[in-house]
């Protein structure tokens, strides 16, 4: 169990490699296929709105469906169909309209407590439309922007003590946990109730789920603290991209799993969802794991490979990102 110093020196700029600028490849054809499916689903939904009262009430509340259809059919259904056959401008129209409707419907549902399921449907459609538009426009989802500015990879300032790095990491943990594990879940849970999309459980089941959530939260939080303190104490830096460690840490929980802090954070989010009895908070944690894995992790690992070279390659080959090893990893000392 040891910590190896950087063999490459200063962090390379995130924009300086193909891996960090290409993003997530998504074929343009897949984007057009999505818009075709959206056009069909939108048309079917409008038929259901005018023929099934339950669908109209759950997705539109008391909004006049005729007035809504006058705008939505051409700007959502027809525009999506045109985007599907290759009219690029129509993809922008359909995506912009979907985002606008999602935002407006969210405000409406928050004020009136109506149309909550419509909000969720439009949020999902908005996210998928943005991905499909990126596929049509660039053939990929650009991700380099997430490691620019204050989130760009930079080594921690030299000369600071391990104690200073540990204190900085604990401060970061308080801020990040307070926002992502308290503020955001409480807002999501409140909106879930306000929009009428909560899925209540029988009291005994809800109590058991909450207890399980509390236990998992405590364990995941312990893992997160252990990981953060280990990294900052031994790595001469912090977990934040703006003050990254200058040593490759292969100690503590990093001997079992490659990114225990991410694993802990995502598990914490899901546990908070169980504790609050909120399926949307659990979904928020799952979505966060997908974003981290496909958007953030490739840039982070490219940076580690650029700085630590063969040391990181060896570590990555033996320690998985998500699934812990059964036995702790023991690195081979350099010859």
Per-residue model confidence (pLDDT) at position 147: 78
Please indicate, yes or no, whether residues 117 and 245 belong to a single structural domain of this protein. Answer: no
pLDDT, position 78? 98
Instruction: Give this prediction's pTM.
Output: 0.88
pLDDT digits (tens, 9 = 90+) for 8-66: 333 333 333 333 346 899 999 999 999 999 999 999 999 999 999 999 999 999 999 99
pLDDT at 330 over 90: no
Residue 147 lies in a domain: no
Per-residue pLDDT, 16: 35
pLDDT at 154: 82
Q: State pLDDT tens for residues 74-90.
A: 999 999 999 999 999 99
pLDDT of res. 11 = 32
Q: Compute the Cα dihedral for 23, 89, 45, 27 and give only its sign.
A: negative
Give the contacts of 202 (CB within 8 A, at least 6 positions apart): none
Q: Are residues 181 and 132 in the same domain?
A: no
Spacing of C-alpha 188 from chain mean position: 15
Tell me, yes or no, whether 199 and 110 share the same domain: no
Which is higher by pLDDT, 110 or 150?
A: 110
Question: Quick one: CA torsion of 177, 179, 185, 186, rounded to 10 degrees?
Answer: 120
Residues 237 and 137 in one domain: no
pLDDT at 333: 56
User: Using 50, 70 and 90 to split pLDDT, how confident is the model at 151?
Assistant: confident
Confidence at residue 243, expressed as pLDDT on a 0 to 100 scale: 83
Please determine, for residue 68, whether its predicted confidence score (pLDDT) is greater than 50: yes
Return the pLDDT at 1: 39
Confidence of residue 149 (pLDDT cuts 50, 70, 90): confident
- Burial grade of 49 (CB within 10 A; 0-12, 13-18, 19 or more): buried
Cα 232 to Cα 28, 108, 173, 226, 246: the distances in Å are 43, 46, 12, 10, 10
Q: How many whole angstroms separate alpha carbon 6 and alpha carbon 306? A: 10
Per-residue model confidence (pLDDT) at position 17: 36
Does 279 share its domain with 233?
yes
Question: Which of 141, 163, 187 is a domain's end point?
Answer: 141
175 is a domain residue: yes
| In contact, 119 and 102? CB cutoff 8 Å | yes
pLDDT of residue 332: 61
Q: Is 166:229 a contact under the CB 8 Å cutoff?
A: yes
Rounded distance between C-alpha atoms, residue 242 and residue 157, angstroms: 10
* Residues of the chain above pLDDT 90, percent: 77
pLDDT at 263 over 80: yes
Polymer length of the chain: 335
> How many domains is the chain partitioned into structurally?
2
Has residue 92 been placed in a domain? yes
pLDDT digits (tens, 9 = 90+) for 170-222: 999 999 999 999 999 999 999 999 999 999 999 999 999 999 999 999 999 99
Domain assignment of residue 148, yes or no: no
Which of 114, 141, 168 is where one domain is finished? 141
Helix (H) or strand (E) holding 176: helix 162-178
Whether 250 maps to a domain, the answer reads: yes
Average pLDDT over residues 91-119: 97
Same domain, 297 and 238: yes
pLDDT tens digits for range 111-134: 999 999 999 999 999 999 999 999
Given this model, what pLDDT does residue 144 score? 85
pLDDT value at position 157? 81
> For position 163, which CATH number holds?
1.20.120
DSSP conformation letters of 37-85: HHHHHHHHHHHHHHH-HHHHHHHHTTS-HHHHHHHHIIIIIIHHHHHHT
- Which residue among 141, 172, 206 closes a domain? 141
The reply to whether 334 falls in a domain is no
Our CA dihedral for 141, 119, 88, 40, rounded to 10 degrees, sits at 110
Regarding whether 304 and 219 lie in a shared domain, the answer is yes
Instruction: Give the range of the structural domain holding residue 164, as residue numbers without chain letter.
Output: 2-22+155-318
Residue 305: inside a domain, yes or no? yes
| Residue 76 lies inside a defined structural domain of this protein | yes
CA distance 166 to 225: 10
- pLDDT per residue as tens digits for the range 217-253: 999 999 999 999 999 999 988 888 878 888 999 999 9
On whether the CB atoms of residues 140 and 26 are closer than 8 A, the answer is yes
Least confident of 150-154, 246-250, 292-296, 313-317: 150-154
């Amino acid at each position: 169990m040891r910590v190896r110093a950087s063999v490459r020196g200063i962090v390379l700029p995130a924009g300086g490699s193909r891996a960090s600028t290409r993003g997530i490849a998504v074929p343009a054809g897949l984007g057009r296929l999505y818009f075709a499916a959206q056009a069909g689903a939108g048309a079917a939904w409008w038929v259901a709105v005018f023929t099934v009262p339950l669908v109209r009430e759950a997705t539109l509340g008391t909004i006049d469906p005729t007035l809504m259809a006058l705008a939505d059919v051409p700007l959502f259904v027809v525009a999506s169909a045109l985007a599907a056959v290759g009219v690029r401008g129509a993809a922008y129209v359909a995506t912009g309209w979907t985002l606008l409707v999602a935002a407006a419907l969210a405000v409406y549902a928050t004020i009136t407590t109506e149309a909550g399921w419509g909000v969720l449907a439009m949020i999902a459609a908005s996210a998928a439309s943005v991905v499909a538009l990126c596929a049509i426009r660039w053939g990929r989802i650009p991700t380099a922007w997430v490691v620019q500015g204050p989130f760009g990879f930079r080594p921690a300032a030299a000369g600071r003590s391990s104690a200073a790095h540990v204190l900085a990491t604990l401060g970061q943990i308080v801020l990040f946990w307070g926002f992502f594990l308290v503020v955001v879940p409480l807002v999501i849970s409140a909106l879930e109730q306000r929009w009428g999309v909560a899925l209540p459980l029988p009291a005994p089941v809800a109590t058991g789920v909450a207890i399980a959530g509390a236990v998992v939260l405590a364990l995941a939080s312990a893992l997160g603290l252990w990981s953060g303190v280990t990294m900052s104490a031994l790595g001469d830096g912090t977990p934040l991209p703006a003050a990254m460690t200058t040593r490759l840490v292969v100690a503590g929980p990093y001997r079992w799993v490659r990114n225990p802090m991410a694993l802990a954070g995502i598990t914490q989010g899901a546990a908070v969802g169980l504790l609050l009895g909120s399926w949307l908070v659990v979904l928020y944690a799952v979505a966060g794991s997908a974003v981290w894995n496909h958007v953030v992790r490739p840039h982070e690992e490219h940076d580690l490979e650029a700085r630590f070279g063969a040391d990181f390659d060896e570590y990555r080959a033996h320690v998985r990102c998500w699934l812990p090893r059964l036995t702790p990893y023991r690195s081979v000392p350099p010859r």
